[in-house]
Structure 1
Amino acid sequence: VVTVVTCALCETFNINMPQNINVLRGSCVTIPCSFDVKSKFENNLDNTCEAYWSDSTSFNSENAKLKPTKEMTGHLKKKDCTTTFNNASLLQSTKYYFRLECDKPLIYTFTQADDPPSPTLTPSTLEVEEGASVSLTCSAPAPCWSHPPALTWSPNLGQSQETLQENQDKTKVRTSVMNFTASHLHHGNKISCTAVYQKQDGSPDVTAEASLTPDISNPPSPTLTPSTVEVEEGASVSLTCSAPAPCWSHPPALTWSPNLGQSQETLQENQDKTKVRTSVMNFTASHIHHGNKISCTAVYQKQDGSPDVTAEASLTPDISCEFIFLFSNEINSNNV
């Protein structure tokens, strides 16, 4: 909804109003407004000053269509012309003008809408790996300061917190921040935020929605340490397989193929408090291992009854052999 702010006799007055404002029929609307005058007009701001609104530039206190002086939340002597219309349905025209009757007019025009403003999701798209921490912010304009919209998440994936914030242009916005951990269960399933605007004229509430469809990638592949093996036959080798454990109560199971020796599994905690399943396999390098893939497979168990998912990491060892050749010299002795 476009708001146009103009000023008559701008060499005298400066007025600050939002460039954009949304007005919902049947609800209240608060218009943040402030102004300034040259020092020589400061004395004009006294208790006799009154404010009026009209849908015509040719108006005065007698023919003003709206006289919301009693509904003003601002104080004219403090150069605050903030005005609240408790019933925006009274605003039948698409353009209104504001007049401060201290002999200098201020002009303010705006339009109104029957549909509520849609909330905004930040970020607008979500592409993360399973186990990542996600923070979604839903923002909806609050044209009626005393009755800001109520915000609800569907599904409710975690803790959320609502605040009423003020923009630079003095308009207000209701925000809700929801924090959760990304899961494969969220992949492809719509996440929506609904803003519910309450009407003050007794008519039914109206709603507006914003949504996104998250792209949650599978469990990242496990990691092998070292990533390559180049040793001589007979050397002792220790391979470590690590796989993230986003679900602490059901960490992945790790298996080696082929199983070349003893292995031991542990569940460790990283510095960022995430957890990881590790398996260490120890074996003695042999020429029969040379060029044959060694793999570690992580098996993730689903809690929704769907099939388990697996992820694999592998390497191909380079085992060198040391050949020792024995030479014998035959010495022929001739008896003289």
Structure 2
Amino acid sequence: MKTEKQIILFICLLQGVWCKYWPISLPEKIEALNGSCVTINCTFTIDTKYDKDLTDSAAGVWIKDGDEANRVFDSSRPELSFKGELTGKLKDMDCTTIFYGITSNDKGKYKFRIEGNGGLKYTYELKSVSIVVLASPPKPTVQMFKDQMDGKVQKKVLEGSSMCLRCSAKTLCSSSPPTLTWSFTDRLHLNENSRLQLDQQKQTEIISDLNFTATHLQHGVTFICTITYQLQQRITTAQRNITLHVQCKNKSI
């Protein structure tokens, strides 16, 4: 049975490079929404003797399913099948790449290859990223807190409490992030201090907080959070809801 060291040596020999293993940092799996984009966060290393070959003319290449002939992206050849861009700087050993217009046919495993001047030509064979293509976005997460500063998730609410309903979701495409919206049954009467606040967009998560003071009129009201992706040819949504159970100060409803 071959050891990992033997496998690494064998791969190095296949590439024509007497090398020590060059590490690369890639996510193991990324979810992408059909019709949207996907970002692969990527950093790599090379042997210091090739530093002079890593110039502005170097190219970052992505190979699908281990087939060297199946180059779906090459930063120096925009005519290849994947429309995208290398957002990282190869000179800084940042190979972060964004692909646009992902379809179900694009699911699979992808390996990165660096091609510079001289002898810097290397495929990172031992690590790949799997792209999983989703037909619809995952449902958002909805949680209820006593207030914004309270980290404890609540199940029941005491009338008069300051409440925060938090809806959060992953952003599957950073260049075209989704939106979160709240809706609820028409029985609901929020007080004047209630407000809807959308937190600052992060690269991987979007958050919307609904803040209000609980009253007995809100008992049994269902709050619905909807995530919406505006794609080129369609709009796709997913929902999650939560129902309030409000206790009166003197007795339970």
With structure 2 as the length reference, what TM-score do the two structures score? 0.71
Q: What is the match of residue 186 of structure 1?
A: 218
Q: Structure 1 residue 33 and structure 2 residue 42: aligned?
A: yes
Shift of 1:132: 0.5
Identify unmatched segments of 5+ residues in structure 1. 1-6, 167-171, 222-308, 311-336
8 A Cα contact 2:40 2:96, kept in partner:
yes
Where does residue 66 of structure 1 map in the other structure?
73
1:87: which partner in 2? 101
Q: Distance in 2 between matches of 1:127 and 1:20?
A: 37
- Residue 196 (structure 2) aligned to one of 160, 165, 169: 160
C-alpha distance in 2 between matches for 1:65 and 1:197 = 25
**Shift of residue 91, structure 1, vs aligned partner:** 4.8
Q: Counterpart in 2 of 1:328?
A: none
Other structure's SS at 2:196 match: strand
Aligned match of 1:317: none
Structure 2 unpaired stretches of 5+? 1-7, 13-18, 79-84, 145-152
Determine the structure 2 residue equivalent to 1:78.
Answer: 92
- Aligned partner of 1:128 in structure 2 is 157
Contact 2:30 2:130 in 1 (8 A): no
Equivalent residue for 1:104?
122
Contact residue 68 and residue 83 of structure 1 kept, 8 A: no
Post-superposition shift, 1:59?
Answer: 0.5
- Contact 1:22 1:117 survives alignment (8 Å): no
Residues 120-169 of structure 1 deviation map (CA, whole Å, 9 limit, x = unaligned)? 12347531101111112211111211211100011395312222124xxx
Q: Compared with structure 1, are the counterparts of its residues 119 and 175 closer, same or farther at alpha carbon in structure 2 (3 Å cutoff)?
A: same
- The alpha-carbon deviation at position 24 of structure 1 amounts to 0.6
SS of structure 1 residue aligned to 2:52: helix
Conserved 8 A contact 1:119-1:208: yes
Aligned to 1:205: 235
Residue 13 of structure 1 aligns with which residue? 22
Shift in CA distance, 19/72, structure 1 to aligned 2, threshold 3 Å: same
Aligned-pair CA distance for 1:19: 4.1
The question of 1:218 aligning with 2:243 is answered no
| C-alpha distance after superposition, 1:272-312 (max 9, x if no partner) | xxxxxxxxxxxxxxxxxxxxxxxxxxxxxxxxxxxxx99xx
Q: Which has the larger radius of gyration?
A: 1
Structure 1 segment 47-58 matched on structure 2, within 5 A:
47-58=56-67
Q: 1:135 to 1:26 in 2, by over 3 A?
A: same
Q: SS at 2:249's partner residue?
A: coil
* C-alpha spacing 1:134/1:49, structure 2 compared with 1 (3 Å): same
Q: Aligned equivalents of 1:122 and 1:23: distance in 2?
A: 25
For 2:178 and 2:33, the matched residues in 1 are separated by 11
Equivalent in the alignment of 2:139: 118
Q: What root-mean-square deviation, in Å, do the aligned CA atoms of Structure 1 and Structure 2 show?
A: 2.9
8 Å Cα contact 2:108/2:132 also seen in 1: yes
* 1:216-274 CA distance string (max 9 Å, x none): 111347xxxxxxxxxxxxxxxxxxxxxxxxxxxxxxxxxxxxxxxxxxxxxxxxxxxxx
Quick check: 2:29–2:132 contact (8 Å CA) kept in 1? no
Q: 1 CA distance for matches of 2:207 and 2:53?
A: 40
Measured in 2, the distance between the counterparts of 1:173 and 1:11 equals 37
Taking the aligned partners of 2:20 and 2:211, their CA distance within structure 1 comes to 50
Cα distance 1:103–1:18, how it changes in 2: closer, same or farther (>3 A)? same
Give the structure-1-normalised TM-score: 0.55
Provide Cα deviations, 1:31-55, integer angstroms capped at 9, x if missing partner: 2222233444433422232122232
Secondary structure class of the residue paired with 1:88: coil
